[in-house]
Amino acid sequence: MNFISRDSRTLSIARKEFRHIARDPFTLGMALGLPLLLLVFFGFAIDFDVRDIHLTVFDRDNTRISRQFVDSIRGTGLFIIKPGVGGVNDDLDHERVKGTLVIEKGFGEDLRGGKSPKAQLLMDGADNSGAGVIASYLGGLVPAAWIRLKGLEAARMPIQLKTRFLFNGELNSRWFIIPGLAVLIMGLLATLLTATTVAREWEHGSMELLLSTPVKPIEIILGKLLPYLCLGLGAVLLIYVSARLVFGLPFAGSHLLYLVGCLLFLIPCLALGLIISSVARQQQVAMQMSMMITMLPSMLLSGFIFPVESMPAFFYYITAIIPARWFIVVSRGLYLKGEGIVELALPLGILLVMNVFFVRLALKKFKADLEP
């Protein structure tokens, strides 16, 4: 009978919360519309691929072979070639191009004579990440151009190196970005939803009224989490559909395993929002705390942009306490690699531990609030 009564109180709180959400279009819009808007906006805005690279070419050899070499670069579609006029560094100094390629005199003669032809690439080092990508593009084009100009038989080398990219053969950066971006959006929205809406109840005094009733803290927590967990799963569905239809993202793994991962990720985020609301008790403060605690660490320390393996030891260990880090591993593993429960056992297990920790922490905070 105690279990039935306790369950009824939990469901009563959940029903009350559902009715509150249904009467609040702002909460519904933030939970369902904002994730879709953020995914589409940032999915198009964030792009690590470098295209339409403006390159100035000074062809000092001006032979048929040097012109064919320039045509082979233009033919990739990655570069917009601009003939060099004036000083070699003029376009770079005025930031009109990303790089300048200088083909030295005697380029064609050296190639016909079996010597190494000479060319120089000047890059704008202010954008070190872009310069590295462009340099790697040109570095990969040189062997192909050599074979095209000199002939396959003459250009044959003792060792042939073939490169193949697994899981993302076209190196489409959006396939890498979208699974991680979805995790950031889900985590931020889940924390914001509970932090701001429950903080509003603290502001209006309705939470103190609820705490003064015989309802136990665990019943309050479950009753508060359940509606927003359903909203979070609705946002997950919208994100998944838009990722597949708008961005053409593949999904190679198990949908059931992805659902389990979403639940294990959303619950600690929602519980964290409850903890923030209890500490802040004001909507504006709760929103600021949610952004500071979830957005920046999740973006910078989760592996979304920078690989955690390359971080200094201190920051590497800090990333272990960020739920987004582990769910990004799950999300990318399921979307792109088709990994199963064995490969994802570690991140899913850590997320399960985080569920227990954050729910117990929220329970402890609510118990403290009950004490006079």
pLDDT value, residue 323:
95
**Rounded distance between C-alpha atoms, residue 311 and residue 317, angstroms:** 9
Q: Which of 26-35, 307-316, 327-336 has the lowest mean pLDDT?
A: 26-35
For residue 184, how many other CB atoms are within 10 A of its CB? Answer: 21
Quick: pLDDT tens for 224-268: 888 899 999 999 999 999 999 998 999 999 999 999 999 999 999
Question: Across residues 300-319, what is the average pLDDT?
Answer: 82
Q: Is 63 helix (H, G, I), strand (E, B) or coil?
A: coil
pLDDT value, residue 36:
79
Question: Across residues 287-310, what is the average pLDDT?
Answer: 82
Report the candidate in 184, 197, 355, 186 with the shortest Cα–Cα distance to residue 276.
197
**Rounded distance between C-alpha atoms, residue 285 and residue 114, angstroms:** 71
Q: How confident is the model at residue 156 (pLDDT cuts 50, 70, 90)?
A: very low
| Secondary structure (DSSP) of 18-57 | HHHHHT-HHHHIIIIIHHHHHHHHHHHH------SEEEEE
pLDDT at 79 over 70: yes
Percent helix / strand / coil, the chain, rounded to 5: 65, 5, 25
Q: Is 146 helix (H, G, I), strand (E, B) or coil?
A: helix
pLDDT value, residue 372:
43
Strand partners, 55: 81, 99
Strand partners, 57: 83, 101
Average pLDDT, the chain: 80
pLDDT value, residue 222:
84
pLDDT value, residue 255:
96
Higher pLDDT among residues 69 and 341, named by residue: 341
Quick: pLDDT tens for 141-153: 666 666 666 654 4
Q: How confident is the model at residue 127 (pLDDT cuts 50, 70, 90)?
A: low
For residue 223, how many other CB atoms are within 10 A of its CB? Answer: 21
Question: Which of 61-65, 86-90, 123-127, 138-142 ranks highest by mean pLDDT?
Answer: 61-65
pLDDT value, residue 322:
93
Phi-psi region of 77 (alpha: psi -120 to 50; beta: other; left: phi over 0): left
DSSP state of 80: E
For 207, residues 6+ apart whose C-beta sits below 8 A from its C-beta are 198, 201
Both tokens of residue 83? 């003939």
Q: How confident is the model at residue 6 (pLDDT cuts 50, 70, 90)?
A: low
Phi-psi region of 151 (alpha: psi -120 to 50; beta: other; left: phi over 0): left
pLDDT value, residue 260:
97
**Rounded distance between C-alpha atoms, residue 192 and residue 202, angstroms:** 15
For residue 123, how many other CB atoms are within 10 A of its CB? Answer: 19
Q: How confident is the model at residue 347 (pLDDT cuts 50, 70, 90)?
A: very high
Higher pLDDT among residues 115 and 80, named by residue: 80
Q: Which of 57-61, 72-76, 275-279 has the lowest mean pLDDT?
A: 72-76
Question: Across residues 78-82, what is the average pLDDT?
Answer: 85
Phi-psi region of 303 (alpha: psi -120 to 50; beta: other; left: phi over 0): left
Could you tell me where the beta strands, DSSP code E, fall in the chain?
53-59, 79-83, 99-103, 119-123
**Rounded distance between C-alpha atoms, residue 181 and residue 239, angstroms:** 10
pLDDT value, residue 99:
82
Both tokens of residue 274? 């409850």
pLDDT value, residue 345:
94
pLDDT value, residue 159:
35
Q: Which of 88-97, 161-170, 360-369 has the lowest mean pLDDT?
A: 161-170
pLDDT value, residue 157:
39
pLDDT value, residue 355:
95
The number of CA neighbours under 13 Å toward the Cβ of 109 is 6
Q: Which of 6-10, 12-16, 119-123 has the lowest mean pLDDT?
A: 6-10
